[in-house]
Amino acid sequence: MEKEKHHIVPYKVYFYILIALITLTFMSIGITKINLGGYSVLGALVFSTIKSVLVLTWFMHLKFDQPFLRFMVGFVALLFFAIIFITFLDYYYR
Amino acid sequence: MENATQHSDPHYDQEASKLGMWLFIFTELLLFGGLFLVYSIYRFLNPEAFRLAGEELNLTIGAINTIILLVSSMTIAMSTSSLQKKNKGLTIFLLEVTIMLALIFLINKYFEWGVKFDHGIWPGSQHLINDMSKGEILFFGLYFVMTGLHALHIIVGMIIIIVALNKVQKGIVNENRPSLLENAGLYWHLVDLIWIFLFPLFYLIH
């Protein structure tokens, strides 16, 4: 356990992740250029969510950390979505 | 003489410092989360005003800043790898690149805000209050608060990275004690993470 606990991520993995992130950025700009009405913000947010998962998993090392950290991050994300969802239920049905 | 050979570090727990950093990151996420909540409600209530006001923002500068932050996230992530590979020189170089990119981000932000100020747009400005609708005032208020708070995090992040860089140079942060650098990296990725959502919500409204 002492020796195995630190995984060294190769430089090229980080580079590939960067390329993916930049590509997704341009895709999110592209999707908002197309007129999709209310769905364009949704599209952009989907790309942002994919980007944030990449950052959390690779850049922030969650892939190599203990599972409880991933669980906690998931819990915080869920808490945030619950807050958004419940607040919108209130505003939408007023 | 005996003291010099003895390992005198009182207590070092890498997992615990990582957990502590993550708990702090959660509070930061929820701090910005609150602002995102306010943003989404006001946008829901004032869709047309938000669209109009969003067109005032410069998409090119926003996109350039996004790429700058993404690259800087990569360089600091690489620096943690190079520290583990005992390549001190490369670690220091990558951290210097990260700090430079952060500085460029702030310079872009300075010019971006400067253009807004030239157009008479700042929180509480006469132009904003007299000529704009309530929704537009809300949009620009949120724009300045959220990008401003984010820029403040960039400045704090730079300070933390400079401290980490200094300690790497002195050898206090090394492959056996990498926590400070790793936590600085986590903080920097948090700043990146927030921008990933700020960018489409402010710059990509059509």
ipTM value for the complex = 0.91
pLDDT category at B45 given cuts 50, 70, 90 is: very high
Give the SS3 label for residue A38: coil
Beta-bridge mates of residue B177: B174
Place of tokens 């590509």: A23
Say yes or no to pLDDT of B84 above 80: yes
Residue B98 touches chain A, beta carbons under 8 Å:
no
What is the mean predicted confidence (pLDDT) over B75-83? 97
What's the pLDDT score for residue A35? 74
Of A5, A25, A33, the CB nearest to B67: A25
Q: Name the closest residue on chain B to residue A89, using Cα atoms.
A: B41
* pLDDT tens per residue, range A73-84: 999 999 999 999
- CB–CB of B140/B123 below 8 Å? yes
Calculate what percentage of chain B has a pLDDT beyond 90: 90
**Residue B25 to residue B31: CA distance in whole angstroms:** 10
Q: Do A33 and B15 touch (CB under 8 A)?
A: no
Mean pLDDT, chain B, rounded, equals 94
Give the SS3 label for residue B32: helix
pLDDT category at A1 given cuts 50, 70, 90 is: very low
Q: Higher confidence at residue B109 or residue B8?
A: B109
Residue B24 touches chain A, beta carbons under 8 Å:
no
Place of tokens 């996004």: B66
Say yes or no to pLDDT of A2 above 50: no
Phi, psi dihedrals of residue B125, rounded to the nearest 5°: -70, 155
Of A21, A29, A61, the CB nearest to B70: A21
Count other C-beta atoms under 10 Å from residue B200's C-beta.
25
**Residue B200 to residue B102: CA distance in whole angstroms:** 20
**Residue A81 to residue A39: CA distance in whole angstroms:** 18
Distance, in angstroms, between B126 CA and closest chain A CA?
31
Phi, psi dihedrals of residue B177, rounded to the nearest 5°: -130, 70
- CB–CB of B203/B62 below 8 Å? yes
Q: Do B74 and A59 touch (CB under 8 A)?
A: yes
**Residue B122 to residue B11: CA distance in whole angstroms:** 49
- CB–CB of B67/A22 below 8 Å? yes
Q: For chain B, which domains are there?
A: 34-203 (1.20.120.80)
- CB–CB of B205/B185 below 8 Å? no
* pLDDT tens per residue, range A24-55: 999 999 988 887 777 888 888 999 999 999 99
Phi, psi dihedrals of residue B126, rounded to the nearest 5°: -60, -45
What is the mean predicted confidence (pLDDT) over B139-148? 97
- CB–CB of B112/B203 below 8 Å? no
Say yes or no to pLDDT of B46 above 70: yes
Of A8, A80, A91, the CB nearest to B81: A8
- CB–CB of B167/B173 below 8 Å? yes
